[in-house]
Amino acid sequence: LRHWRQALAMQPSDWGDRLFGMGSGSFPATYYWHNPQREVPASIAYADEGGNRYVRLASPGYSAGYGELLRLLQRLTVQPATRYTLALDVRRTGPMPVLLVRLCQRQLLYAQGCVNVPLRLHPAQLGNPVAAWQHYEVPFDSAWLGTGAWLLRPPVQLELAASGTATSSVLEVDNLSLRAPGGEELIANGGFTQANNYWFFSSDHHHLPWHIKSMALHLLVETGWCGALSMLALLAVAGTRLLRQAARGDSGALACAAALLGFLVVGLFDSLLDVPRIALLCYLMLLCALLQPVPSPSIESTPP
């Protein structure tokens, strides 16, 4: 409830923003700049310098603690009990930043069975106002990762995250490479020339900076009263049509109505439409509901 009140309080008072919303996907940036706790959530950005692109990882800064890390992820295929070599270039700014690198078994959230890459950053050069890139090459063993039959083998992901003190600090990473003993490169787009292609991100436990945690409030804040009322009307029309079809014995309409109802129940306490793939499924389900054929009136058969 406190998070919902804060999300509404961070909404601009301009009538245009109230009527049409702040725009899809705008809540994380709004929380970053205007949250009342003055927290600094972790962030990931892609920067260009002299024609070279790299990734910039900012650690979280919370007055009550270190906060939850924001991880940059890529799924890899590794072999168990194999010696790999991780190479990368790092540039650091801020107080005591730490770059956490590990390989973990992970489906989507909540990593398990992790193998840490023993990377220790060199101390910053004293008296040098401009941070310099430093190159690292770290060998490590994959241990148990990659074991198991094909269908039962957990996916393995490489994780990068910036950590540090309660004050946010910045790490810049480039030319990331993970090579097998035969020299095979396992990381795609390790130079980040294609920005976030092949990469994903995850904040496993602290979700409030990224979601309003209510589908209704999400629509109200990001799409305004026009978007929220339009969605409500769309749901009402689709629900009415599905219930009418279900009352006539249409099992497909009943299943579609149950699916939408389950989606809305979860949406009471979660933001579902801020994930494009899930939003697409929702809109396709609504489209299926609206395209339900109108049953033809029953015609009584007459004897020949």
The region of weakest confidence among 31-45, 235-249, 284-298 is 284-298
Q: What is the pLDDT of residue 125?
A: 62
**Percentage of the chain modeled with pLDDT above 90:** 62
Contact 12, 20 (CB under 8 A): no
Q: How far is CA 40 from the centre of its chain?
A: 17
The region of weakest confidence among 76-85, 129-138, 191-200, 288-297 is 288-297
Q: What is the pLDDT of residue 14?
A: 85
pLDDT at 108 > cutoff 70:
yes
**pLDDT band at residue 122 under the 50/70/90 scheme:** confident
The region of weakest confidence among 84-98, 100-114, 126-140 is 126-140
How confident is the model over 187-206, as pLDDT tens digits? Answer: 999 999 999 999 998 888 78
To the nearest whole number, what is the mean pLDDT of the chain?
88
The mean pLDDT value for 271-282 works out to: 91
Beta-bridge mates of residue 71: 202
Q: For domain 36-202, is the CATH number 1.10.3470? A: no
Tokens linked to 290: 């609206």
Of residues 180 and 126, more confidently modeled: 180
pLDDT at 288 > cutoff 90:
no
- The secondary element (H helix, E strand) that includes residue 8 is helix 2-9
Of residues 205 and 111, more confidently modeled: 111
The mean pLDDT value for 6-13 works out to: 89
Phi-psi region of 198 (alpha: psi -120 to 50; beta: other; left: phi over 0): left
Enumerate the domain spans of the chain: 1-27+209-294, 36-202
- Spatial distance between the Cα atoms of 171 and 200, rounded to a whole number of angstroms: 18
